[in-house]
Structure 1
């Protein structure tokens, strides 16, 4: 949950019609499209990664908040879906809080915090994307 600049490099691999290697923050990920859209299914598709990023950020934000308050949260799980209805993107998040000692008030607050993660805010805002030729 940093405000630092993140740089990523994505390059086609030729392993399938859409396969790419993604390098970001010292990590390497393979991306691709599923077979039914003529990809090779060699890695997650772009919306797979976006949906996973929303879940990752949600879990980390809930964990961060619980730690700040020393609340007895044992584990966070997030189940997500993404689909389109016309031009509208619909994401659903189910946040599962494990921790028998959590109060109902703490659970309610953690669920509210789950809707405030930075990726959630980015998706629901109007980010600026600048495209240029290289």
Structure 2
């Protein structure tokens, strides 16, 4: 697993600024006015699955010296809430190589994380603005 810290700070309404190491991107809810300015957090999750799948398949094909010209992955949620992932492999691959590459795809770290029960531990931090801290009357 990646040990880099991912930080999200509130930006404009319904959007967050995401920092991952030296990389910055934004995500947010679709604007009620219909403006589609940023990917949503759910879309970023699907992108994480797609990119993890693609790189895992590419690495396996390269390691074996197989003639994989291209791997394309699309992912979306179906009406039942399942993630549907399409993997398109282009190249001179036999049936066994395709089967093995699809098995590698099923073991990519993001899929493993999504398909097992993962715990989220929340550590709350409350910061008060200077001058806004009020003391409560002490009970007598």
User: TM-score under structure 2 normalisation?
Assistant: 0.82
Q: Which has the higher contact order (CA 8 A, sep 6+)?
A: 1
Match in the other structure for 2:53:
58
1:9 matched to 2:4? The reply is no
Runs (5+) with no aligned partner, structure 2: 126-140
Match in the other structure for 1:30:
26
Output the CA distance in 2 between the equivalents of 1:69 and 1:4.
25
Runs of 4+ in 1 over 2 A off after TM superposition: 38-42
Output the CA distance in 2 between the equivalents of 1:5 and 1:84.
34
Q: Answer with 1 or 2: which has the greater Rg.
A: 2
Match in the other structure for 1:120:
111
Note the C-alpha offset of 1:35.
2.4
User: TM-score under structure 1 normalisation?
Assistant: 0.85
RMSD of equivalent CA atoms:
1.7
Output the CA distance in 2 between the equivalents of 1:25 and 1:83.
33
1:43 matched to 2:38? The reply is yes
Match in the other structure for 1:109:
100
Runs (5+) with no aligned partner, structure 1: none
Aligned length: 125
